[in-house]
A and B are shown apart, each in its own frame.
Chain A
């Protein structure tokens, strides 16, 4: 398998099969869903490695020295199928309603 990592954070951007190189030298990776995606060579790196089970793009990082490790900045996507911004807005609105109810002495 081939993997693509971000040079700055080492996070895993892609896991898949190396399909080809574009004429500009960018590697094109075919992922498990059949998406063909190229990555700029000035900001990413390509490696051919054995990928352990459970390793996921974004969730894991990789360097040749450290191997695969958990992305310290990884956050599970919210389970509601809506944007994080909307989740935050709903939370904030709910908190505001509770605060108002407490101030006004209502028990609803």
Chain B
């Protein structure tokens, strides 16, 4: 960086010399060649456009999404059944593109139609490998449906569904391309898990084992990777809603509980468990309730056959109904959503320090984004998929996807204003010199 004199060509043909500066910036995306007028991009989140009413307007809530390639996002959601009976639910998908902060629907359809039951169904997407995903659907009857989804180009294919009874709080955690850990809670209140196998689109059940003491009421349960062969179970039971943890070891097809304990004796800390996101080093990030009416992000660490909470940050004084999802951005920072606050929150993790960077309102037209989930695109873009309650009389929820872009400080080719002129080539990863007015 340094100071310089910039020649400014006047309207009369004369030349004025003004103070300028040479500063270094990265390109917001791609690369920018030398002698290009650029505009400044501040760090923050830019709001893009949305695609609303992707669903026909079901009375259900379940929704999930996952980034499937650089600019594609797969969304699954519950919707009205085609038989017109409000006692039934349809499970649908939409393949979305994220380009220039705009969402387009590339393909959509139903993969299960007219399933008996309405209400708080849950859907989950988990990546087996790029282009191949596990889909888990909980019907309000307590039946769970698992199936394999594959994507090629703009074509989405689903295998036949595997139906499982007495299966509440289902959750899939891929172990390899041929195995996944499947956890659930049964009617008796046991948190259980087994290793299931995948062969093409054929799914084979494993033998589920009880991992924790049984409780009469299980409000929530989630499972996620916390180390090699180690998995973290988070469970909320009964009226106290304390957070219980279960450290799980998986060896081959064998599943066992290493440690079961009450992690927090603070009421409601087990509420709204959203996501468990593995960050390496026997550590995982968790988004969940931080006590009544609060949502926090936590770091859990597994060591010496025990799991402990090593850090936490309250993200918002708001609840996160049905939890959220943690999305790792290309620069190593994280993005998540909080439903009641109707916000997407950007945060970073450095050792045991969690720092909130910024946040953005997801939808100005609704006070809460029911079951909002998040997925990463390219160039800092991400999509928030949620159910927008636009019709309070009929209680209908409309699946909506909205594009955002997380910006690092940098420059982009000038469109609306001129901030400076590039002196040499700059890219997204390599800064270059830019002449700017001092």
Contacts and interface: CB of A to CB of B under 8 A. Distances in A.
Same complex for A and B? Answer: yes
Interface in A1-25: 4, 6, 8, 13-14, 19, 22-24
Interface in A21-61: 22-24, 26, 28, 33-40, 42-44, 57-58
B205 interface: yes
A38 B147 CA distance: 10
A85 B86 contact: no
Interface string B100-132: 000000000000111111111000000000000
A77 B116 contact: yes
A103 B160 CA distance: 57
Contacts of A6: 165
A77 to B, nearest CB: 4
A37 B59 contact: no
B98 interface: no
A12 to B, nearest CB: 11
Interface in A50-75: 57-58
A108 B59 CA distance: 31
B304 interface: no
Say whether chain A's binding surface is mostly helix, strand, loop, or mixed.
loop
Nearest to A81: B86
B256 interface: no
Contact of A28 (B119, B140, B160, B199): B160
Contacts of B87: 77-79, 81
A34 B112 CA distance: 8
Interface residues of A, number: 34
B113 A34 contact: yes
Interface centre among B113, B160, B199 (most CB of A within 10 A): B160
B37 to A, nearest CB: 56
B203 interface: yes
B145 to A, nearest CB: 7
Contact of B162 (A26, A77, A81): A26
Nearest to B396: A81
B117 A77 contact: yes
Contacts of A44: 165
A26 B117 CA distance: 25
B204 interface: yes
A86 B118 CA distance: 11
B203 to A, nearest CB: 7
A74 to B, nearest CB: 11
B116 A35 contact: no
B242 to A, nearest CB: 21
Contacts of B145: 37
B119 A82 contact: yes
A92 interface: no
Nearest to A80: B86
B64 to A, nearest CB: 18
A8 B161 CA distance: 21
Interface in A90-108: none
Interface string B80-109: 001100110000000000000000000000
Contact of A33 (B113, B203, B395): B113
Contacts of B141: 58
Contacts of A22: 160, 202
B118 A81 contact: yes
Contacts of A14: 163
Nearest to B145: A37
Given A40-B162, A82-B59, A35 B118 contact: no
B164 interface: yes
B395 A81 contact: yes
Contacts of B115: 35
Contacts of A42: 205
B411 to A, nearest CB: 50
Contacts of A19: 160
Contacts of A26: 162, 202, 204
Contacts of B203: 38
A34 B109 CA distance: 13
Contacts of A39: 162-163
Given A33-B83, A38-B162, A77 B118 contact: yes
Given A6-B165, A84-B140, A33 B114 contact: yes
Contact of B59 (A33, A36, A58, A81): A81
Contacts of A84: 119, 140
B112 A35 contact: yes
B140 A83 contact: yes
A17 B289 CA distance: 46
Nearest to A25: B204
Interface of A: 4, 6, 8, 13-14, 19, 22-24, 26, 28, 33-40, 42-44, 57-58, 77-86
Given A33-B83, A44-B165, 6 more contacts: A13-B143, A13-B163, A35-B113, A38-B162, A43-B164, A81-B395
What 9 A-B pairs are tightest by C-beta distance, nearest first?
A83-B119, A81-B86, A77-B87, A36-B160, A33-B114, A24-B204, A37-B161, A22-B202, A81-B59
